[in-house]
Amino acid sequence: MNVPIQSACLAALLGAALCASAAGAARPNVLFIAIDDQNDWVGPLGGHPLVKTPHLDRLAQRGTTFLNAHVQAPLCNPSRTSLLLGLRATTTGVYGLAPWFRNVDALRDRVTLPQHFKAHGYTTYTTGKIFHGNPGGPAKRAAEFDVWGPAGGIGVKPPQKLIPPTPMGNHPLMDWGCFPHRDEEKGDWQITTWAAERLRAMPRGQPFFLAVGYFLPHVPCYATQKWFDLYPDDDSVLPPLRDNDRADVPRAAWYLHWDLPEPRLAWMRENGQLRNLVRSYLACTSFVDAQIGRLLEALDAAGLAENTVVVVWGDHGYHLGEKAITGKNTLWERATRVPLIFAGPGVVRGARCTRPAELLDLYPTLADLCGLPPRADLEGVSLRAQLADADAPRARPAVTSHNPGNHAVRSERYRYIRYADSSEEFYDLRADPNEWTNLSGDPAYAAQLAEHRRWLPARDAPHAPGSAHRILTYDASADQAVWEERITIRRGDPVP
């Protein structure tokens, strides 16, 4: 090779290397923020008229809010498993609080969202609740994230429960209210402090994926007095409730939460706890919002905000009296609709998207925004088009599943629910945002029902080995369900 040609080749190679280095340095970071049990009671979603979440409000102003985002399962473990693996619960077979997905042979080597980022040059950090449960010892933890911070969780607790004993076992997590303590003693404060310190110390030129998982407003939802003082101690805080809310709801809807520690509305009223729970939930929501504010301030102070994709999501919603219950484990709007807010590079500012979105879409969306190679084995689709134009069309609705055979299909206007015994619900959310009128038997909606039925999952995987806790199976031949392999539910049995 002559010298001029050799010099030209070397120059070209050097230029390519410099371009690749620059591209790598410019690759966006990711701040990945999860909130446990957070329904749509945040300012950007308008789910509660009195809620105060100024930091989420500001994040929404500099990004895109999905007003119609839904989980793939209304329960922590299956929802997070779905999001992190990019697979539906009807594919993984993980529907309950167990198993940990790495204990399922078919999922043992599945590449998670943070692993995909790690494989493409990102340093990955985590603190608080991202997975449901602990992966195990140091080697197993290192395989999931590079750096692990504090676990977070409840933090300081009162010497004894603040509320009366609750039905179905008086579960220790069933508690809420205010007692003397400091915000700094709470697990969510501590994980925020750790994450903020990491942001301030982030090495320049090395892209990062930082996952921060908040525990609150999960029960026990304790808050200090300053957060309770944001909300009036009167019935103006209560959500819209209807006493005969379930009069036109199939009996199978009860099967999904047959024997759970979360109290029914009747118990809450009899024990004067409904307003207390609602205020506690709102107070904890505002407290978590303040922690997110601390995170975002640290991101700004570190000079990282302009090149960091921020995403905030909730793992499922939570009932606070609606449909005669508290808790999750349902296929209604209150249990499936969650915050989903993006901000940062590639995201239009101040946008509000009404297209249905799924948490399943986070994996391909973040990979897309950050220029990572796409994966062909994901069941979600990138939301990048809607992040550039909130009115961009989307070809499919959002689908939520809770145990085999029980599914909800949420389009831009309607919610369709089908239970394992083939009973149905159908709601027009524009006319009936509280889902008070089941239209499934109305012939005027036959066409809409047919359109939504076609989106029911083609695959309905049975429970994965080791499944436990909030597991339901239905035997059509006997017309009976079995709850957690210990309670047989027959058609005429009284609802507990």
What residues are annotated to the active site?
76, 132
Cα–Cα distance list, 156 to 171, 190, 464, 485 (Å): 18, 11, 35, 35
Whether the bond into 217 is cis, omega within 30 of 0: yes
**Which residues, 6+ apart, have CB-to-CB distance to 163 below 8 Å?**
174, 175, 176, 177, 271, 273, 276
CA proximity to 166, closest of 267, 280, 278, 277: 267
Distance CA 318, CA 419 (A): 20
> In the numeric block, which tokens belong to residue 128?
């608080």
Inter-residue contact 294 to 192 (CB < 8 Å): yes
Place of tokens 């303040």: 290
Distance CA 256, CA 419 (A): 9
**Which residues, 6+ apart, have CB-to-CB distance to 259 below 8 Å?**
168, 483, 484, 487, 496
Q: Beta-carbon neighbour count of residue 175 at 10 Å?
A: 22
454: buried, middle or exposed (CB in 10 Å: 19+, 13-18, 0-12)? exposed
Task: Give CA 165 to chain center in angstroms.
Answer: 29
Inter-residue contact 424 to 250 (CB < 8 Å): yes
DSSP H or E stretch at residue 142: helix 138-144
